[in-house]
C-alpha cells in the first residue's frame, strides 16, 4: 500500500468532549468527524475554544471526558488513561504550532530529523534522506543548514510543517499557523497547506484566514463559547451561514470597516 493510500484511510471521530480549566468550561460537548483524506477548518472568535479543541485532539490538553478516535487509536477520556496508551494516541498526529517552536540551536535539517531519530529511533541515513525531501516539499531545500534565526517567520513555519510530517502522522493539526507571521509571509505557508490538502492529508486547521478556509476546506466548524454552533461545507457555513452568530462573526472579519 502506498503512503498516500494509507493516509486516505485515516479519519478522526470526536464524541461529546469536555474540557475545563478550573471553573472555566472551555469545551462543552464537542462532537464531529473528519473524513478520510479531508481538511476541516475551525473558525470562531477569540476565546471560543478553538486552540483547546486542537490541543485536545493531540491530548496536549487531556480532555475531562468524551471519546476521540484517530486512525485505530481510540480513547475514552472519562476513564483512566495509561501512559503507553496516551503515547500511542499522540503518535497518530503531528502538530504545527503558532510560534514555530523550533530548536534554536539546531539547523532546519536537524529540527526535521529530531523526532524520527530521538522518538522513533529510526536509522539516521533514512531519516535524513526523508527530511531533505520534506524540506524540498516545503520549498526550503537550500535552507537545510541554516538556523532558525537565519530564516524568516514564514520559512520557520514551513520547517515546522516539515517537522510534523517527518513523524509520518495519520493526521496533521495546525494551530493558527499564520497568526504570528507578517502579512506578506502568510501566503507562502498557506500555499504549502493547500498542497497537503491536494495530496490527501487528513488535516484539522484552526485559522482566522476565512478566505483560505473557504478555499481549502471540505468541512468548516464554527465554534463559540465552547460549542460547535455550525458545521458543514464551506459554501454553506461561510457562504450562507444559518446561525445569526456565525453571520455576525463573518461580517466583522470580512468587512471590518
Residue 186 confidence (pLDDT) above 70: yes
Tell me the per-residue pLDDT of 2-37, one tens digit each, with 9 for 90 and over. 444 444 468 899 999 999 999 999 999 999 999 989
Pairing of strands 202-206, 171-175: parallel
The partner residues of 223 in beta bridges, in order of sequence, read 228
134 lies in some domain: yes
Segment holding 154, helix H or strand E: helix 153-166
Beta partners for 75? 68
Nearest alpha-carbon partner for 172 in 70, 99, 254, 51: 70
pLDDT at 90 over 80: yes
pLDDT in tens, 46-68: 989 999 999 999 999 999 999 99
Whole-angstrom Cα distance, residue 254 to residue 11? 31
Judge whether 155 lies within some domain: yes
pLDDT at site 1: 38
Determine the pLDDT at residue 5. Answer: 43
Domain count, the chain: 1
- Mean pLDDT in residue range 222-237: 96
Residue 116, in any domain of the structure: yes
pLDDT at 257 over 70: no
pLDDT at 102 over 80: yes
Residue with the bigger pLDDT between 100 and 88: it is: 88
What's the pLDDT at 256?
67
107 — pLDDT class (breaks 50, 70, 90): very high
| Averaged pLDDT of the chain | 91
Res 161 pLDDT > 50 = yes
255's grid cell: 468587512
Does residue 124 sit within a domain?
A: yes
Is there a domain that residue 205 lies in?
no
By the 10 Å C-beta count (0-12 exposed, 13-18 middle, 19+ buried), 53 is classed as: buried
pLDDT band at 142 (very low <50, low <70, confident <90, very high): very high
Is 160 domain-assigned?
yes
Residue 6: per-residue pLDDT = 45
Domain region containing 143 = 102-168
Residues 239-248: tens digit of each pLDDT:
999 999 999 9
- With pLDDT > 70 as the criterion, what percentage of the chain qualifies? 96
Rounded to two decimals, the pTM is 0.91
Q: Please indicate, yes or no, if residue 225 is contained in any of the structural domains.
A: no
Neighbouring residues of 141: CB distance < 8 A, sequence distance ≥ 6: 132, 135
189 falls within a domain: no
Q: What percent of the chain has pLDDT over 90?
A: 77
Amino acid at each position: 500500500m502506498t503512503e498516500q493510500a494509507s493516509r486516505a484511510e485515516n479519519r478522526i471521530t470526536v464524541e461529546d468532549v469536555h474540557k475545563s480549566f478550573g471553573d472555566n468550561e472551555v469545551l462543552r460537548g464537542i462532537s464531529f468527524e473528519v473524513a478520510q483524506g479531508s481538511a476541516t477548518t475551525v473558525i470562531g472568535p477569540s476565546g471560543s475554544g478553538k486552540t483547546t479543541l486542537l490541543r485536545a485532539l493531540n491530548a496536549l490538553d487531556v480532555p475531562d471526558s468524551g471519546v476521540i478516535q484517530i486512525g485505530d487509536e481510540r480513547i475514552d477520556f472519562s476513564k483512566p488513561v495509561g501512559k503507553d496508551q496516551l503515547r500511542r494516541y499522540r503518535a497518530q498526529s503531528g502538530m504545527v504550532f503558532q510560534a514555530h517552536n523550533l530548536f534554536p540551536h539546531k539547523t532546519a535539517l536537524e529540527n526535521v530529523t529530531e523526532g524520527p531519530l530521538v522518538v522513533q529511533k529510526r536509522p539516521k541515513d533514512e531519516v535524513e534522506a526523508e527530511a531533505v525531501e520534506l524540506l524540498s516539499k516545503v520549498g526550503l531545500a537550500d535552507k537545510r543548514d541554516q538556523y532558525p534565526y537565519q530564516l524568516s517567520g514564514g520559512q520557520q513555519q514551513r520547517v515546522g510543517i516539515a517537522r510534523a510530517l517527518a513523524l509520518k502522522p495519520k493526521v496533521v493539526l495546525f494551530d493558527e499557523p499564520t497568526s504570528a507571521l507578517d502579512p506578506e509571509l502568510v501566503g507562502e505557508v498557506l500555499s504549502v497547506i493547500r498542497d497537503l490538502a491536494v495530496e490527501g492529508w487528513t488535516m484539522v486547521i484552526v485559522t482566522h484566514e476565512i478566505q483560505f478556509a473557504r478555499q481549502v476546506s471540505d468541512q468548516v466548524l464554527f465554534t463559540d463559547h465552547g460549542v460547535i454552533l455550525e458545521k458543514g461545507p464551506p459554501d454553506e457555513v461561510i457562504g450562507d451561514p444559518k446561525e445569526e452568530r456565525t453571520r455576525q462573526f463573518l461580517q466583522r472579519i470580512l468587512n471590518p470597516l
